[in-house]
Amino acid sequence: MISKEKTKMALEKMYAMFPDAVGELEHQTPFQLLIAVILSAQATDVSVNKVTPHLFAAYPNAEQLANAPLETITEYIRTIGLYRNKAKNIKRCAQQIMEEFDGNVPETREELMRLAGVGRKTANVVLGDAFDTPAIAVDTHVERVSKRLRICKLDASVSEVEETLMRKVPKEDWVKMHHTMIFFGRYHCTARAPKCEVCPLLTMCQEGKDRMKAKQQKQR
């Protein structure tokens, strides 16, 4: 693995590439963010943003979503993967918020993870973006970039990736780092066709150097 100092150097280059990296799920309240993040599991932010404006116009808060017919919720989100299960989860989540938290989204990881459809990653996104609480949500982009740059071990689990990043990155930078690494992975260091030839981090990335070497040999 690379050192804490090299991790900092890598992140500084990512920050320079994507200085305005933010969460791309559209929302107006912590509740709407929570629902959007639940819907985004195994789906793209783009696909979620296509359905949530209509969903939130009809059911903007926990009380209204909790009382909405499941069939109607399902229709609103049917273009998203796993929509039937997600419809059940977001309705139950809204009911739990009404029953257990007086209609307010809880502000601790432990309480958030008691809600239907909410795992650690979802809870961390809500903590960071809704409540400005330092947290690192490890999605596929964060995991891929961390492993390609050897910030963490190649065989690290999601929780181990999170723990490694927490050790190597200052707490006050966790949310910024999370969004920047997502942008870097989503728009530059993509899964299938990373832009290695124009990457400022190529010298730090063994996988990228191997990829470029293979490409050059193929062209000969």
- Catalytic-labelled residue, pool 91, 139, 168, 176: 139
Is-contact 140 166, C-beta < 8 A? no
Residue 160 sits at the vertex; the CA angle it makes with 164 and 119, to the nearest 5 degrees, is: 115
Determine whether 139 is an active site residue.
yes
Determine whether 88 is an active site residue.
no
- Catalytic-labelled residue, pool 86, 91, 121, 176: 121
Query: What residues are labeled active site?
Result: 121, 139
